Chains A and B, each alone.
Chain A
Amino acid sequence: MSDEGEELRRAVADVLRERCTPEALEAAERDGEAPGIWTALAEGGFPTVSVPESAGGSGGSVAQACAVLEAVGAAPAPVPAAETGLLGGRLLAAAGLELPEGPVTTAASPRLAFDGEVLAGSVARVPWARSAAALAVLADAPDGPVVVLVDPAATAVTPGRNLAGEPRDHVVLDGVRPLATAPAPPGAGDALRRRGALSRAALIAGAARAVAGLTVRYTGERVQFGRPVSAFPAVAAHLVRIAEQTELVAMAARAAAASAGEDGEPAGLDVAAAAAVASRAAGEVAAAAHQATGAMGMTREFALGALTRRLWSWRDEWGGGRPWAAELGRALAAGGAEELWPTVSRGLVSPGAAR
């Protein structure tokens, strides 16, 4: 899986490298969308990896989708790559619904109801809702939860954003008639939440690696007291800390993604662990990188800020680290002392097996 993941990461990075320029990122922040970058990614079928071909996706595993997201996070590409495939696309596919054309978005929707005709309620912090072709969310219906596909143009969207200026919009769905609905399979909400957290871990892993490269480069070029600042042990320690946290979050995200096997869903405890590790690593990497790059790192001109502002945003999305850590802690404690090590060490023995 690692070689295949590496190939995919490279392929996506090749598409994004020339496109995700500082100017393009500023424009995306101003306009709330980046259609050129989206089109380039979509032409390669990258955003819909892990959505079965039969449902209109590119096929592939959750691990492959996460490899794409690592490259998206590293670029960074201001587009709903996670939402379209791994999150929304798989939500639709699991309910037997076809993936529509164009960028799809989704978010946790605990306060959304469906009476069989129209929706009632709103969804907060929806990524790129204003420019998405469709919104795929869960709603409570009289006979249980349903997956609904909605045309964002039929909703009332109030623009919002995260620290990186990526759209995080408030969507009011009162009286909106869905384009399509289907009963949600059991556990669809938990599965979506897990994939949401996993997607952030993968994005964080990618952004952290980009930060690592950028920081090593800058501290190797910046000369003070007659030598590159990376030659000072105190500065070098920041580089090491960044490298460690980058490897830790990348390993966590990849291992959790691999737990899904070829066509399954990622394992709950593995995702919880990855989310907890990612959230913490994001903060540590950003802090160390800013300390190492000094005042230059704080400027809008320097590429670091576009990455660290994303790290600071993504670490809190889909729950952030704390609830996932608590969920993992409760599950392990409930398993009892004798099962603690067997559970932690189960690792990747049998990918896709139920845990």
Chain B
Amino acid sequence: MIFAPTALSPHEDALRHDVRRWLADTLPADFRPGLGLGGRHDPGFSRALAGQGWVGMAIPREYGGAGASTVERFVVVEELLAAGAPIAAHWIAERQTAPALLRFGTEEQRRWFLPRIAAGECFFSLGMSEPDAGSDLASVRTTATRTEEGWRVDGTKVWTTNAHLNHFVVVLCRTSAAQDRHAGLSQLIVDLSSPGVTVSPIPLIDGELHVNEVVLDGVVVPDERVLGEVGQGWAQVTAELAHERSGPDRYLSVLGLLRAFVAEHGKDLDEAAAEAFGGIAARLWSIRQLSLSVARALEQGEAPATEAALVKDVGTVFEQEVVETMRDLAAAEIDPEAASLFERLLAECVLNAPSWTLRGGTTEVLRGIAAKALTRGGAR
């Protein structure tokens, strides 16, 4: 393990304060914070944020980004998530697609997509899971067949967040029927406005409609929209996951809830409540240091995949414990229409919390990854 405590430089700390101040000025006074990744889809906000240079900031300057470091991006993302800002529109494009394009994309793709991502104008969804391919991602059945025009894509993707609002989806699909199921996979960038794309909502238990099924029926994708190499989709997706895991989104879903708790109950904490709340804060503080140390390691060119899996597991389990502890402290029937912001957020948390240990790799899958590394002697 390479977790080492790391300090923010004065420059990184100044950036944090700039973002914090800008958010305080920009978000309305009666703003209802989103639950981290559950922040609303608001293209206007994404563009305004991009105007500050804070979308796709790790993208090099020549492609329209700010050429910022991993830790600088970490700092900005932390502030956005802590505020519960409406980041959903640009989130995937900036966290996942931009690094993938930088790593695997063609020069032409970089020149076309990256400036638009950094401007907060080009939004992406992830097309990984399918009805029969969840944790076992390598069993995807969506196919891309070569045609004269490029590729013809057929299949069904599920859990595709905001596909009804975004511009593109990166589809993991089978481009050849290889024996080894990890071979023969490729990633294609599919324009969601293409003919043959049908997006329909999958209502979640809270009644929200931001997750979709995306049916691809003979969708034509030009050759220049292949991301990376044909047949290298599995390696590319695995590399992406190290970036997807361990970030601040894995422990800040509950920050808005904690802030509302302090605002409404901070003045009259008894010993038991102080102890419960302090225990939460202590773990939040430590998990954050772990996550920051992973960001620093990434910045220094390391690939801490096992550490990232551990942080995601610890972080998401922590978030769920927070909800239960807060529910105990609230000591009231949960009312989604309560006058109290704390109680409304608590209601939202209870309904959403199960997804936190599912999205981005289930707890069980993550522990499998970590256990493999541990028993291989990957840990000191």
Contacts and interface: CB of A to CB of B under 8 A. Distances in A.
Check if A and B associate.
yes
Interface of A: 1-2, 209, 212-213, 216, 219-220, 228, 230-231, 233, 236-237, 239-240, 243-244, 247-252, 254-255, 258, 270, 272-277, 280, 321-330, 332-334, 336-338, 340-342, 344-345, 347-351
Interface string B255-289: 10011101101110101011111110111111111
A236 B368 contact: yes
B82 A337 contact: no
A330 B272 CA distance: 11
A239 B371 CA distance: 7
A216 B374 contact: yes
A240 B370 contact: yes
Interface of B: 1, 3-8, 10, 13, 16, 20, 78, 82, 255, 258-260, 262-263, 265-267, 269, 271, 273-279, 281-290, 292-293, 307, 310, 313-314, 364, 367-368, 370-371, 374-375, 379-380
Given A2-B4, A251-B3, A333-B277, A273 B282 contact: yes
Given A212-B379, A233-B368, A250-B3, A325 B278 contact: yes
B290 A251 contact: yes
A254 B3 CA distance: 11
A136 B253 CA distance: 47
A240 B289 contact: no
Contacts of A348: 5-8, 289
A280 B375 CA distance: 25
A330 B262 contact: no
22 contacts: A230-B375, A233-B364, A233-B367, A239-B375, A240-B313, A240-B367, A248-B287, A250-B3, A251-B3, A251-B293, A275-B282, A322-B275, A326-B278, A329-B277, A337-B259, A340-B258, A344-B281, A344-B288, A345-B82, A345-B288, A348-B289, A349-B7
Given A325-B282, A341-B255, A347 B289 contact: yes
B289 A252 contact: yes
B286 A277 contact: yes
Contacts of B282: 252, 272-277, 324-325, 328
Given A216-B379, A251-B290, A252-B289, A243 B310 contact: yes
B269 A237 contact: no
Given A216-B379, A240-B310, A337-B263, A329 B371 contact: no
B6 A334 contact: no
Given A240-B367, A328-B281, 11 more contacts: A220-B375, A231-B375, A236-B375, A273-B282, A326-B271, A328-B278, A347-B8, A347-B292, A348-B5, A348-B289, A350-B7
B269 A243 contact: no
A211 B6 CA distance: 25
A277 B276 contact: no
A253 to B, nearest CB: 9
B314 A237 contact: no
B278 A327 contact: yes
Contact of B279 (A219, A237, A329, A340): A329
A216 B377 CA distance: 9
A43 to B, nearest CB: 27
Given A250-B3, A273-B281, A344-B285, A244 B274 contact: no
Nearest to B307: A247
B262 A337 contact: yes
Contacts of A276: 278-279, 282-283
Nearest to A334: B266
Nearest to A220: B375
B191 to A, nearest CB: 38
A332 B5 contact: no
Output the residue of B8, B255, B282, B367 with the most chain A CB within 10 A. Answer: B282
B8 A342 contact: no
B5 A255 contact: yes
A243 B283 CA distance: 15
A336 B367 CA distance: 37
Contacts of B279: 276, 280, 321, 325, 329
Contacts of A333: 262, 265-267, 269, 274, 277
B374 A243 contact: yes
A326 B280 CA distance: 10
A230 B371 CA distance: 8
